[in-house]
């Protein structure tokens, strides 16, 4: 898949007044701005006002980077110097991110992986067939609210579901205040509603499991097939994995989409702010409990337990809230420990360098 490489204005690429303010200090130094479209083997493809360039991180920036998040992510605006010929560039820095969807890296390491940066809206795509899972949606919503972007739930493959009304009600019960759109890429139902989020200069990230129809959605919104789509498997109606890497695509009619591979693992990252937004109903009930330190178990006058017993809240939703809250608490302890070790290692490195300089 290739991204539109025609010369575009910075505004068409998502530039705004906040980026302009941060960039002013660097413009006088001869730097230009570019937006990261894709990355492969430490080579980044960027879009600039002059067109498309390939770039690598400068040696100084690489040396100063303390963690993975210090390197460019898809959607980042970066400071670059263009080499002779105009087809290559060096990346010297990253402008402050206005939003980012991040998760913990897979495995045992406590590190952040930025999936997409500087996004305005997140399409959380969940198929209405066998892939339907409201507990997974709660996890995605928690990270989406944490990102600083606006979450929108897209329920795809409506043509494969005979219980749309029931499933829509389930989603609306856990996605308070979040727009929900039911679509079918096969029949075209609901797809035009998504165009309102894709105004000129606005960026949408599509996130979801493999086989939810993200690639088909992208092809429709683009107006032609730019991403190959594989047929669904017989027996479970699931699509096969199509997208293999994250990429930012500029739509011909305006707007930008970051297409992402299906996520097999979605570990939480961040603070409890996203949890509070995603589970606002639980948080509101907790404030009504008799005791401020109520554990919502056997305490008298517990508003949460009363809501569960009366059927106003499902036990499964409260259990999901507790599970995610526990994960975030554990993550916070691990992050603090990792940061302390990193700080110790940094000063140890500085001391070694100072000693070596003295003996030089």
Confidence of residue 17 (pLDDT cuts 50, 70, 90): very high
What local confidence, expressed as pLDDT, does residue 351 receive? 61
Is 333's pLDDT higher than 90?
Answer: no
What's the pLDDT tens digit per position in 109-127?
A: 667 788 999 999 999 999 9
Q: What pLDDT shows up at residue 342?
A: 53
Work out the pLDDT band at 78, boundaries 50, 70, 90.
Answer: very high
46 within 8 A of 58, measured Cβ to Cβ: no
100-259 sits in which CATH class?
A: alpha beta
Question: Topology of domain 17-94, per CATH?
Answer: OB fold (Dihydrolipoamide Acetyltransferase, E2P) (2.40.50)
Mean pLDDT of 347-354: 57
Is the pLDDT assigned to residue 44 strictly greater than 80?
Answer: yes
**Domain coordinates in residue numbering, the chain:** 17-94, 100-259, 273-352
Could you please state the CATH topology (level 3) that the domain comprising 273-352 is classified under. Answer: Ribonucleotide Reductase Protein R1; domain 1 (1.10.40)
Of residues 356 and 152, more confidence is placed in 152
- Mean pLDDT of the residues in the chain: 84
Judged by average pLDDT, the poorest of 61-65, 199-203, 225-229, 294-298 is 225-229
pLDDT tens track for 192-239: 999 999 999 999 999 988 888 888 899 888 887 766 555 554 444 444
Answer yes or no: same fold for 17-94 and 100-259: no
**The pLDDT of residue 108 is above 80:** no
Percent of the chain with pLDDT over 90: 48
Beta bridge partners of 90: 56, 81
The reported pTM is: 0.82
């Amino acid at each position: 898949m290739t991204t539109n490489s025609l010369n575009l204005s910075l505004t068409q690429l998502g530039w705004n007044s906040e980026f302009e303010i941060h960039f002013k200090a660097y413009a006088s130094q001869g730097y230009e701005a570019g937006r990261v479209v894709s990355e492969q083997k430490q080579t980044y493809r960027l879009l600039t006002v002059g067109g498309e360039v390939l770039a690598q991180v400068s040696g100084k920036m690489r040396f100063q980077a303390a963690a993975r998040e210090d390197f460019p992510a898809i959607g980042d605006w970066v400071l670059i110097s263009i080499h002779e010929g105009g087809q290559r560039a060096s990346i010297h820095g990253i402008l402050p991110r206005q939003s980012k969807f991040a998760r913990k890296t897979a495995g045992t390491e406590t590190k952040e992986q930025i999936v997409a940066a500087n996004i305005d809206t997140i399409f959380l795509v969940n198929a209405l067939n066998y892939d339907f899972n409201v507990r997974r949606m709660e996890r995605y919503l928690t990270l989406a609210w944490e990102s600083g972007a606006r979450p929108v739930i897209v329920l795809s493959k409506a043509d494969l579901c005979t219980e749309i009304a029931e499933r829509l009600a389930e989603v609306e019960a856990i996605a308070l205040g979040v727009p929900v759109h039911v679509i079918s890429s096969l029949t075209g139902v609901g797809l035009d509603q998504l165009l309102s989020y894709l105004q000129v200069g606005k960026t949408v990230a599509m996130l979801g499991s493999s086989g939810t129809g993200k690639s088909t959605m992208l092809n429709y919104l683009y107006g032609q097939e730019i991403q190959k789509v594989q047929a669904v498997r017989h027996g479970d109606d699931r699509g096969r994995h199509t997208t293999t890497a994250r990429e930012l695509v500029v739509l011909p009619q305006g707007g930008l989409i970051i297409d992402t591979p299906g996520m097999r693992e979605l570990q939480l990252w961040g603070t409890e702010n996203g949890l509070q937004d995603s589970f606002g109903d639980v948080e509101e009930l907790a404030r009504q409990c008799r005791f401020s330190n109520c554990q919502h178990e056997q305490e008298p006058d517990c508003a949460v337990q009363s809501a569960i017993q009366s059927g106003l809240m499902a036990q499964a939703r409260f259990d999901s809230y507790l599970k995610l809250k526990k994960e975030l608490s554990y993550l916070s302890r691990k992050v603090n420990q990792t940061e302390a070790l990193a700080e110790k290692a940094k000063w140890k490195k500085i001391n070694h360098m100072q000693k070596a300089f003295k003996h030089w």
